Amino acid sequence: MQRLLSLLVISTALALSIQEISAAQPSDSISRLRSPENGALSLCAQLIQPNGYPCTEHTIQTKDGYLLGLQRVSSRNANLRVGRGPPVLLLHGLFMGGDAWFLDSPEESLGFVLADHGFDVWVGNVRGTRWSHGHISLSENNKDFWDWSWQELALYDAAEMIHTINMITSSKIFIVGHSQGTIITLAALTQLDIVKMVEAAALLSPITYLEHISAPLVLRMVAVHLDQMIFAMGLHQVNFRSNVLISLVDSLCDGHLDCNDLLTTITGKNCCFNNSRVDFYLEYEPHPSSAKNMRHLFQMIRKGTFSLYNYGIFKNLKLYGQTKPPAFDLSCIPKSLPLWMCYGGNDALADVTDVQHTLKELQSTPELLYLENYGHMDFILSIKAKEDFHNHMIAFFRSLGKSSRSQVTALHDI
């Protein structure tokens, strides 16, 4: 009976939103998402080389057949390129790509800043983003191409990136993650075969639990079961540049929420980004993700868990041998692995209560930096990032393994 009832609610909601879609005229801030995508140029060629930084493109293949773009960036200062410093892998957040680390000036953007401090910077791009290169046999139009959530991003994509960089550099690596990039980093680090290749991790807006998320538009999407709606509409890819998704979001806002400032509605109030660059950011963001990934995240919000994907009792039994999906066990992350976390008081996605929950389950005691006025996007786009947290993060990396890291420790600040 209850199932019937919820089915009814969903189909009514769906019918309603389809009606609303046909009537709705997208508001200004939402129709800006339609700004044209850039051409076929590579990430190196579009954003990194034009700023004077050497950049090479690599393609790696995951165990399940996805082809991912990986960029390697070094300093624009030739002296700093003589002996490469330790490798750092950058893992972007949901609906973003590796471009996220290069959207502001070389003095403001973490990707450039790390390169200019002598680090060997590797830029990760997960499956489905514009910088990934499809699949060995599946087309992006095939629904199976989109049959994954963040657990595959952790166990296949991040694992393959870490493995490749470890092989090429013969060195353990540093990881920097933002948002979903921290979910997949922490999930990956619970795996012994992955963590042994990692020197340390720095997490911006760290997320494992999503129980206390406060972003109004996200809560509304969860409440109206947007994940189920998207599946019911036969969509497997979530692309906020598509007309269907734009209209759907617009209908959620219409009369319920003020979405004029769409980013604030989704991420919380951001203190420090450059408003005159928003149109430029929108040339790059958002990137697509999968409907299954969105549903996995919504499961976490609904259930307060940090677990594998929930398929429902029967398929769970078949796949996992138990009715509920197994949790990722944060206490498996070795106590000896140095962690650094930076979190914000205005972050509507990585809530402070949830960050504390994560900390309680870790064996180690991460170094913490709390930025009271920071929202979710400030960790990527703040124009004051250098003094607010870049310097702190770089000092953390430099304090580790000093003997084997003479290259970086010897470098002066630029």
Output the residue with the shortest Cβ distance to ligand NAG.
274
- Per-residue x/- marks for ligand NAG, 345-384, CB under 6 A? --------------------------------------x-
Q: Which residues contact 188 (CB under 8 A, 6 or more apart)?
A: 154, 155, 158, 159, 162, 194, 195
Minimum Å gap between C-beta 276 and ligand NAG is 4
Amino acid letter, residue 156: Y
Beta-bridge partners for 204: 178, 342
Element (H, E) at 123: strand 120-123
71 closest CA partner among 105, 98, 103, 50: 98
Residues marked as catalytic: 179, 347, 376
Write down the least CB distance from residue 261 to ligand NAG, Å: 18
Closer residue to ligand NAG, CB minimum distance, 277 or 324: 277
E strand or H helix that includes residue 201 = strand 198-204
Q: In terms of CB distance, is 319 or 414 closer to ligand NAG?
A: 414
What are 257's two structure tokens? 């929420």
Q: What are phi and psi of 255, to 5 degrees?
A: 75, -5
Query: Nearer to ligand NAG by C-beta: 67 or 383?
Result: 383
Q: Residue 282 interacts with ligand NAG (CB under 6 A)?
A: no
Instruction: Give me the least distance between CB of 277 and ligand NAG, in Å please.
Output: 4
The dihedral built from the CA positions of residue 347, 155, 41 and 83, taken in this order, carries a sign that is positive
The nearest distance, CB 383 to ligand NAG, in angstroms, is: 4
Q: Is 67 in the site for ligand NAG (CB under 6 A)?
A: no
Minimum distance of ligand NAG from residue 273's CB (angstroms): 9
For tokens 């790059």, the residue is 284
Contacts of 86 (CB under 8 A, 6+ apart): 119, 120, 169, 171, 172, 173, 174, 199, 397, 405, 407, 408
Distance (Å, whole) CA 271 – CA 375: 7
Greatest distance between any 2 Cα atoms in the chain: 71
Q: Which of residues 383-402 bind ligand NAG (CB under 6 A)?
A: 383
Site string (87-106) toward ligand NAG, x via CB under 6 A: ------------------x-
Token pair recorded at residue 7: 């089915």
Range in contact with ligand NAG (rule: CB under 6 A) among 3-11, 150-158, 252-260, 273-281: 273-281
Please identify, using beta-carbon distances, which residue of 239 and 274 lies nearer to ligand NAG: 274
Is there binding between residue 34 and ligand NAG (CB under 6 A)? no
Query: By rule CB under 6 A, what count of residues binds ligand NAG?
Result: 6
Select from 22, 25, 170, 276 the one that contacts ligand NAG (CB under 6 A): 276
* 51 binding ligand NAG? (CB under 6 A): no
Tokens of 154: 């952790």
Sign of the alpha-carbon dihedral angle for 369, 372, 375, 381: negative
Distance CA 142, CA 17 (A): 26
Q: Please say which residue, 108 or 157, places its beta carbon nearer to ligand NAG.
A: 108
Stretch in the footprint of ligand NAG (CB under 6 A) among 1-9, 53-61, 269-277, 367-375: 269-277
Q: Which of 35, 274, 364, 409 binds ligand NAG (CB under 6 A)?
A: 274
List of residues contacting ligand NAG (CB under 6 A):
105, 108, 274, 276-277, 383
